[in-house]
Structure 1
Amino acid sequence: MQELNHTQIAQRLDQLTELSVALGASHDTAELLERILMVAKGMTNADGGTLYRPSEDGRSLCFHISVNDTLGIRQGGAHGDKIDIPAVPLFDAHGDKNLASVAAYSANFRLSVNIEDVYQADVFNFSGMRSFDQQRGYHSQSFLTVPMNDHEGELVGVLQLINAKDPLTGAIRAFSPTDQRFIEALAAQAGVAITNQRLIQQLEELLEALVNLINIGIDEKSPYTGRHCQFVPELTMMLAEAVHNTETGPLADFRMDDADRKELWLAGLLHDCGKITTPVHVVDKGTKLETIFDRVHMVSTRFEVLMRDAEIRALKAKLAGGDAEAIDAALAEELAQLEADRQFIRGANIGGEGMRPEDQERVRQIAKYRFMGHVIQKKEAGGEEPPFRREEQDFLSAEEVDNLTIRFGTLTDGERKEINNHISVTIRMLESLPWPKHLQNVAEYAGGHHERMDGKGYPRGLTKEQMSVPARVMAIADIFEALTARDRPYKKGKLLSESLRILGNFSLNGHIDPDLFDIFIRQKVYLDFARKNVDERQLDHVDESKIPGYTP
């Protein structure tokens, strides 16, 4: 058996070095595995080769790549035809290790197997190989089978080469001990590289699972935010892709690669993660008087008390000899006024987009009614006083008046601050994580979706020039999704045309980026998203020429 000279050994060492560099730089497992097999095949001048991977359950070896120069076979891998070869079992029907197959033997015992001539070997069952040779008119002879293990000795693959050829004559020869040592060194490097790829993939899957875990927590806490957490990332990516494809205008230079897309997608998923700390009665506050329950029912009961008291006064007046007809007329008028006030309070309790000053004043006047209510009293030690006492009091408390006179929506100033604080919490949460280099911008992207181009946003008051394009993209996605959302407890989803009118005005008043808004409309991003995710009853006709801030 002819051994290698110094020049050939040096060439192989160079190949190993180059492969080590390539393995470290590769991010595509399919490409990596194909590279491993082809380098091994070229290094030994083998006619063919196979790379096996363990099955999910670890009970068999699956053909991952199979090549043969003479037969023109190239199956599996990144560029080959579909694999149509059955897997090799690692165990027999009784659960014992399969010792008949050379690949299974190598995998089970983590040993290399070098066979000079398979037709002369009687240790392994090569009946399948002989049948293959007869069908294809091929002659298999020398085999080199080497296991690939990770740093813990776990099997990650098996590398098998067939028919080493003399580089000068082309004659089939045995794989030399030097061939075997080089392929074992290559297999060791390959095992580490495959393990690294697997660990990186597992870490990325873990990260995505943790992100989903946070969103599940938010969703379970408040079902009204689930749609938002799902759709903002989707719309963000749609608009970002439209900007990526834009070749003219101020944003023509914006481009994303796959790493940028993953970073932005994660930021979108996490953009509201701070809401996990926001009290649920604030997040889900559907009416102005809602806390754990809607207190408008308590107020309605107070009206019943006032009506009862009015009826009692009327009865007492009649018993005192008063004019029954006049008393009944006055009572009917008072009851009608109380009922009208009750219905007004019920209406005022529903949040809107602008409560009139005269309606706010009416709430304050109703609050001045007096009624006998229960007041909690402090019980003295050893005393037998009841925990409540009856006392005349204002019909509405100061806190109830504050809530019922909210001009926009259902949140008081304090509650709005609690809601707004979620973005500060989001930033603190995300900035506390040790993000890898390719995800360094997640906190900036996610934390900027409530900033404004004119610097009047929150929490940092950034201007357009201080914000990245992805952060500005997410701001538009966040607003548009909120406008069209139909699952919020405090409002109905707006019509598509109305949502675009509001968004257009935002582009004119310094709220959102007008250049991004132009792409949002011009590339029909709004329409693609709406057709997929917005209730069809909201999809009215849109005349783009009438959208504020947009020129067709």
Structure 2
Amino acid sequence: DFVRNNSRMRCRQSMKIAEELGCRAVIFHTNYITGFKSYSYREKWVIDNAEFYRELLDEFPNQCIFIENMFDDSPELLKKLAVEMRAEERFGVCFDIAHAFLWDFPLEAWIEELGPFIRHVHANDNFKDEDSHLPIGDGRLPWLLINSGIFKRNRCSFLIEVNGIDNVRKSYDYLTKNHLYFFDRRRRTRLAITNDLKRVLDIGIALTAERDHFKLFDLIVSEAMSLTRCEAGTLYILQDDKLYFKILRNDRMNVYEGRNGEPITMQPVALDEKYVCAYCAINKKSVNIEDVYADDNFDWKGPREYDRVTGYETRSMLVIPLVNHDDELIGVLQLMNAHDDDNNICGFGTDQEYVTYSLASQTAISLSNMIMLKELKDQMYSFVSSFATVIDARTPYNAKHTYNVAKYCTTFVDYLNKLNKLGKSPYCFDEEMREQLMLAAMLHDVGKVVIPLEVMNKSDRLSSMLPVMRMRWKYIKLIIENKHLSGEMNDAEYEKSVEDLNNSIDFVEKSNVVPFLDDDAFAKIDSLESLVYTGPGDEKVEFITEEEREELKIRKGTLTAAERAKIEEHVVFTDKILSKIQFGSKYDKVRFIAGAHHEFINGSGYPNKLSGDDIPLEVRILTIMDVFDSLSSSDRPYRKQSSLAETFEILRAMAKEGKLDIGLVEIARDCFVPPEEDEKKE
């Protein structure tokens, strides 16, 4: 219900934003689970979505809703929804022609099935292998199909959905050259764009495109000052019911504080209507004052004292609220001393006020979106962190492993980037790649939640068998002592029997915990089969049973073949668990990276025996860091802690076997081994 309600809330927010921006329609994705083919699920999906979209159309009577085909392998379900909604004139289909082309269902049939409902078209090209968003004409799509009469009859709008202005122009040229819809008409209407309008539009695009909130602060103040030709600008952001200074700029006084997030030491302004910026914030209304010295509506002690001390003269002022799409105040923009064509100080015109208000609103929406994205990212990270806590808490032998591996990965990636800047490494991670690797590291062992604890916690070969064996050995000692006391065994025989028993016990106890057993140890374990003692009533008591001998005969580590196979299943379960999480395109590699961390370059890893170039850089790094922590940690039940230098000798050996990337191992050694320990080892 949480996910469902949250999704519906986001849909309503999107509708409200579109309404405020004056958009004609909002496009939503289908995003139903294509793997669910059951009739009941698909029918329920249609009914539930139709009900919700009717609610949205009722709430937003000026908006249209178009549903885009995303992972749909046929038009069947989308058509059912469109038929269910056919009475709603403001509902239709957004047909992504490139998405449809990816599937086996013929493109002509897609258009025929959905044709009556198509209102909008998304267009880009591909080679029927992936959703690559190539320029139109660069792939294999049969573009003549878009001249179908269906698109013309429906008067479909058309969006060229490619990256970069050059690719847009290339697509446009292809469509016009081949007289394809939407560009098959000879007469076109043109919108005259003046230089002033173009500049405002360019600023609006820049504001909505900016992803760094500090740069966004700089941008709105700089552009607003430039548009209004004023001397000074201040940006306040509302926090804890106070207006905090974020940008303080006065070109005439050569003052520019707050640039790139630099803190401003001035005290925040209380929300008291006697202050003009606070009045603007409280009432969410702009204030345009031609001469502050002639105004008695607000407390001007602060500006007048500033003028007295600095020699500056504050005259005209325009104060604009930054209000987002939810009618929430984000901050206040304050501009001072506009200039006329003769460069004299004058008041701010109504056109300037209107344009500045529009840009301030765009800034507020952009900032709100940044905050919302950060909240979503924080929510995802907290979810991932809780997963990691559960994994590490299951066993004391894994207590910090997940967090260690994530820490090592980020440290190593930062080191690689540092080397790359110095020209010493070809590897470079952007922020998105870095985040994907870190998330994968936090989730790489999530499959261990289904592995039995007795297997995960197995610190020796015999494990739960050993207490039973020790009780039996005590019983055997009693048998020997009774025979000695009864005279069946003389002193020499008694001492020899006790010594042999103790030696056998010592051998088993040591063999139970050593990292590796050679052939001689195996032979001696087999020889213990002959150790059988006779108790009261001719009872035969074995020193070690056949099952115990086989359990002890584990050449390396503490796990039997069956137990090791069970442990190795954790990567399969990791992949299954992560397959249920919608990471989105930004984090689309997380699942693969996490599930492949036991694959080796020579193909000897698991679960899919990947090799060579099939193992990307992120997986190679995660694999090295996973082994690195296992070797260097002090809490592993089956292995003593290795020094850093010893750890990297083992990693080097694995690289020489072809399992790990030798180049990355050597760089990791430089990253993690202090020079003094390295010299000590040598």
* TM-score interval for Structure 1 and Structure 2 normalised by the shorter chain: 0.7 to 0.9
Q: Which amino acid aligns with 2:278?
A: A
- The answer (yes or no) to whether the contact 2:320–2:334 under 8 Å persists in 1 is yes
- Count of equivalent residues: 487
Quote the residue 1:20 is aligned against.
204
Aligned CA distance change for structure 1 residues 64 and 531 (closer, same or farther; 3 Å): same
Question: Structure 2 CA distance, aligned partners of 1:261 and 1:461?
Answer: 25
Question: Structure 1 CA distance, aligned partners of 2:452 and 2:546?
Answer: 22
Matching of residue 181 in structure 1 with residue 362 in structure 2:
no
Quote the residue 2:384 is aligned against.
211
- The answer (yes or no) to whether the contact 1:364–1:401 under 8 Å persists in 2 is no
Quote the residue 1:230 is aligned against.
403
Question: Structure 1 CA distance, aligned partners of 2:547 and 2:370?
Answer: 59
TM-score (norm 2): 0.66
Match among 72, 77, 94 for residue 259 of structure 2: 77
Quote the residue 2:164 is aligned against.
none
Quote the residue 1:5 is aligned against.
none
- The answer (yes or no) to whether the contact 1:41–1:48 under 8 Å persists in 2 is yes
Matching of residue 107 in structure 1 with residue 281 in structure 2:
yes
Aligned CA distance change for structure 1 residues 181 and 495 (closer, same or farther; 3 Å): closer
Cα deviation, 1:36-60, whole Å, max 9, x if unaligned, reads 12122222212111110112xx221
Cα deviation, 1:115-157, whole Å, max 9, x if unaligned, reads 2221122121111111111111111122211211222222211
Match among 71, 75, 88 for residue 269 of structure 2: 88
- The answer (yes or no) to whether the contact 1:67–1:74 under 8 Å persists in 2 is yes
Matching of residue 136 in structure 1 with residue 310 in structure 2:
yes
Q: Which amino acid aligns with 1:339?
A: N
3-state DSSP of counterpart to 1:489:
coil
Quote the residue 2:12 is aligned against.
none
Moved more, 454-463 or 215-224: 215-224
Moved more, 237-246 or 21-30: 237-246
Question: Structure 2 CA distance, aligned partners of 1:540 and 1:69?
Answer: 58
Aligned CA distance change for structure 1 residues 348 and 27 (closer, same or farther; 3 Å): same
Question: Structure 1 CA distance, aligned partners of 2:238 and 2:219?
Answer: 19
Q: Which amino acid aligns with 2:281?
A: A
Q: Which amino acid aligns with 2:337?
A: N
Question: Structure 2 CA distance, aligned partners of 1:18 and 1:224?
Answer: 57
Quote the residue 1:158 is aligned against.
332
Question: Structure 2 CA distance, aligned partners of 1:201 and 1:353?
Answer: 50
Aligned CA distance change for structure 1 residues 191 and 47 (closer, same or farther; 3 Å): same
Match among 17, 24, 47 for residue 231 of structure 2: 47
Deviation at 1:540, TM superposition (A): 6.9
Question: Structure 1 CA distance, aligned partners of 2:342 and 2:530?
Answer: 106
- The answer (yes or no) to whether the contact 1:146–1:160 under 8 Å persists in 2 is yes
3-state DSSP of counterpart to 2:591:
helix
Q: Which amino acid aligns with 1:65?
A: I
- The answer (yes or no) to whether the contact 1:37–1:159 under 8 Å persists in 2 is yes
- The answer (yes or no) to whether the contact 1:101–1:124 under 8 Å persists in 2 is yes
What residue ranges of structure 1 are gaps of 5+ in the alignment?
1-7, 91-97, 374-390, 544-552
Match among 482, 494, 519 for residue 331 of structure 1: 494
Quote the residue 2:471 is aligned against.
301
Matching of residue 279 in structure 1 with residue 452 in structure 2:
yes
Question: Structure 1 CA distance, aligned partners of 2:535 and 2:571?
Answer: 44
Cα deviation, 1:345-385, whole Å, max 9, x if unaligned, reads 22122141234454465267359646889xxxxxxxxxxxx
Q: Which amino acid aligns with 1:76?
A: G
Aligned CA distance change for structure 1 residues 539 and 212 (closer, same or farther; 3 Å): farther
Question: Structure 2 CA distance, aligned partners of 1:29 and 1:371?
Answer: 83
Q: Which amino acid aligns with 2:669?
A: Y
3-state DSSP of counterpart to 1:349:
helix
Aligned CA distance change for structure 1 residues 105 and 225 (closer, same or farther; 3 Å): same
Deviation at 1:195, TM superposition (A): 0.5
Q: Which amino acid aligns with 1:206?
A: Q
Deviation at 1:26, TM superposition (A): 1.6
Q: Which amino acid aligns with 2:604?
A: K
Aligned CA distance change for structure 1 residues 173 and 327 (closer, same or farther; 3 Å): same
Matching of residue 127 in structure 1 with residue 301 in structure 2:
yes
Q: Which amino acid aligns with 1:529?
A: F
Aligned residues with identical type, % of pairs: 29
Matching of residue 486 in structure 1 with residue 656 in structure 2:
no
Aligned CA distance change for structure 1 residues 108 and 372 (closer, same or farther; 3 Å): farther
Quote the residue 1:541 is aligned against.
680
Q: Which amino acid aligns with 2:209?
A: A
Question: Structure 2 CA distance, aligned partners of 1:123 and 1:489?
Answer: 75
Q: Which amino acid aligns with 1:297?
A: P
Quote the residue 1:348 is aligned against.
511
3-state DSSP of counterpart to 1:494:
coil
CA RMSD, aligned part only? 3.0
Quote the residue 1:403 is aligned against.
551
- The answer (yes or no) to whether the contact 2:420–2:426 under 8 Å persists in 1 is yes
What residue ranges of structure 2 are gaps of 5+ in the alignment?
1-191
- The answer (yes or no) to whether the contact 2:451–2:567 under 8 Å persists in 1 is yes
- The answer (yes or no) to whether the contact 2:287–2:320 under 8 Å persists in 1 is yes
Quote the residue 1:61 is aligned against.
243
